[in-house]
Amino acid sequence: MRRIGLLTSGGDCQALNAAMRGVVKSLLNSGEQIELYGFLNGYQGLINGNYRMLDWADFSGILTRGGTILGSSRTPFKTIREPDENGHDKVEEMKHSYYKLNLDCLVILGGNGTHKTANLLREEGLNIITLPKTIDNDLWGTDMTFGFQSAVDIATQAIDCIHTTADSHGRVFIVEVMGHKVGFLTLNAGMASGADIILIPEIPYDIDKVVKAINRRKEGGSKFTIIAVAEGAISKEDAKLSKKDYKKKLEKSPYPSVSYEIAERITEKTGQEVRVTVPGHTQRGGSPCPYDRVFASRLGAEAGRLILKGEYGFMVGYKDREIVKVPLEDVAGKLKSLAPDATIIKEAKMLGISFGD
């Protein structure tokens, strides 16, 4: 009898359920006896011993369902060693839950912060396997994360819908796409929807260069301009600030987000009307796209195979079009970002897209 725990941590996204289903189906179809325990609401469930036994019926019909049947929450890694509200050691409480159930392995689905804690639990002696979840596609050690392509589809559709109203009114439209630290989502959605300007965290922008691109389109006969802006887009001036000073500036900023500041500065310099659209958490929601359903299922199946072989301490990733296992210590604490001279950036510029640099 193998006893397997499952939990989903951090922000939710599409295909979490599909990935868990892949793990469970591969285990059940192996012919071995399996007991499944789902920890509720991420690491909080593991800390508080809040779980429930699962069976195959729990995973029936969830391939196309967004979100997570186990619930999720954020448990910041930077506070993981601090006592909880009851004065308990959170790491020791997680270990206690693991050993109380006599688990053979804990499967953890999550992003960057989740993987830091997962690797800590591995270092503490627990058998851990992880699956790469994030719409930002910023996890080290994998070319792709599940949830990313579904989010690209939603952000692309949002920008597509803006085109007609922007054309009708001859306005500049900014669509703010999720991505505080990296621009994979904004870049892909912007290119897919024909955005004219794309601003991402990895390439600090010059507002005068942005305005120049807008004026160039106007002089060429275009009535409107579409700008895809990542949440974490940053100006060249602000990029020179220390993290501490930049954080203070954001705290004092009168703008809800960077997009509104960019909009105001464009209006000041051009006199053109600018509208901001923020799709927000719609990018995390809804059913996973077909690509993510297949991709997450493949990752889950490989996780099941590793469990059956007793190979622990790995993230199941995707490199060079193949499903691979990546040591957790190689993943934890590392961020995958876009290189400003990446081939895709060069190709986007060849298509006439401005990055404000």
Confirm whether 357 is a catalytic residue.
no
**Residue 222 neighbours by CB under 8 Å, 6+ apart:** 196
Q: Are strands 128-132 and 105-110 parallel, antiparallel or unpaired?
A: parallel
- Kindly write down the DSSP assignment for every residue of 301-353, as one continuous string: HHHHHHHHHT--SEEEEEETTEEEEEEHHHHTT-B----TT-HHHHHHHHTT-
Residues of 42-51 as b/e, b for ≥16 C-beta within 10 angstroms? bbbbbbbeeb
Residue 295 main-chain phi, psi, to 5 deg: -60, -50
User: Among the options 136, 138, 196, 292, which is catalytic?
Assistant: 136
**Residues 6+ away with beta carbon under 8 Å from 10:** 42, 72, 74, 110, 111, 113, 114, 133, 134
Would you tell me the crossing angle of helices 184-193 and 343-350 to the nearest 10 degrees?
Answer: 30
For residue 54, which amino acid is it?
L
Q: Are 151 and 135 in contact (CB under 8 A)?
A: yes
Q: Are 312 and 128 in contact (CB under 8 A)?
A: yes
CB of 284 within 8 A of CB of 11? yes
Phi, psi (degrees; rounded to nearest 5) at 147: 100, -30
Element (H, E) at 40: none
100: buried, middle or exposed (CB in 10 Å: 19+, 13-18, 0-12)? exposed
| Residues belonging to the active site | 136
